[in-house]
Structure 1
Amino acid sequence: MSKTPLTVSGASKLKAELQRLKTEERPRVIAAIAEAREHGDLKENAEYHAAREEQGFIEGRIKEIESKLSNAQIIDVANLNAGGKVVFGATVDLTDEGSGAEVTYQIVGDDEADIKQGMISINSPIARALIGKEEGDVVTVNAPGGDKDYEIVKVRYI
Structure 2
Amino acid sequence: MNRVPMTAAGAEQLQEELNDLKKVQRPRVVAAIAEAREHGDLKENAEYHAAREQQGFIEGRIQEIEAKLSNSQIVDISKITNTGKVIFGSTVVLINLEDGKDTEVRYQIVGDDEADIKQNKLSINSPIARGLIGKEEGDIADIQTPGGKVEYEVAEVLYI
Task: Give runs of aligned pairs for residues 32-43 of structure 1, distance below 5 A.
Answer: 32-43=32-43
Question: 2:133 is matched by which residue type in structure 1?
Answer: I
Task: State the alpha-carbon separation in 2 of the partners of residues 135 and 84 from structure 1.
Answer: 6
Task: State the alpha-carbon separation in 2 of the partners of residues 87 and 138 from structure 1.
Answer: 16
Matched, 1:9 2:15: no
**TM-score normalised per structure 2:** 0.97
* TM-aligned CA deviation for residue 144 of structure 1: 1.2
Matched, 1:18 2:18: yes
Task: State the alpha-carbon separation in 2 of the partners of residues 155 and 120 from structure 1.
Answer: 15
Task: State the alpha-carbon separation in 2 of the partners of residues 55 and 61 from structure 1.
Answer: 10
Identity level (%): 65
Matched, 1:66 2:40: no
Contact 2:82 2:158 in 1 (8 A): no
Name the residue aligned to 2:148: 146
Question: 2:107 is matched by which residue type in structure 1?
Answer: Y
Question: 2:145 is matched by which residue type in structure 1?
Answer: A
* TM-aligned CA deviation for residue 81 of structure 1: 2.4
Task: State the alpha-carbon separation in 1 of the partners of residues 48 and 93 from structure 2.
Answer: 52
Contact 2:29 2:55 in 1 (8 A): yes
Task: Give runs of aligned pairs for residues 2-151 of structure 1, distance below 5 A.
Answer: 2-99=2-99, 100-151=102-153
* TM-aligned CA deviation for residue 79 of structure 1: 1.2
Q: Deviations over 1:22-73 (max 9, x none)?
A: 0000000000000000000000000000000000000000000000000000
Q: CA RMSD in A?
A: 0.7
Task: State the alpha-carbon separation in 2 of the partners of residues 96 and 46 from structure 1.
Answer: 55
* TM-aligned CA deviation for residue 137 of structure 1: 0.6
Task: State the alpha-carbon separation in 1 of the partners of residues 14 and 27 from structure 2.
Answer: 19
What stretches of structure 1 of length at least 5 have no aligned partner? none
What stretches of structure 2 of length at least 5 have no aligned partner? none
Task: State the alpha-carbon separation in 2 of the partners of residues 149 and 125 from structure 1.
Answer: 13
**TM-score normalised per structure 1:** 0.98
Task: State the alpha-carbon separation in 1 of the partners of residues 152 and 45 from structure 2.
Answer: 59
* TM-aligned CA deviation for residue 83 of structure 1: 1.3
Task: State the alpha-carbon separation in 2 of the partners of residues 101 and 52 from structure 1.
Answer: 51
Runs of 4+ in 1 over 4 A off after TM superposition: none
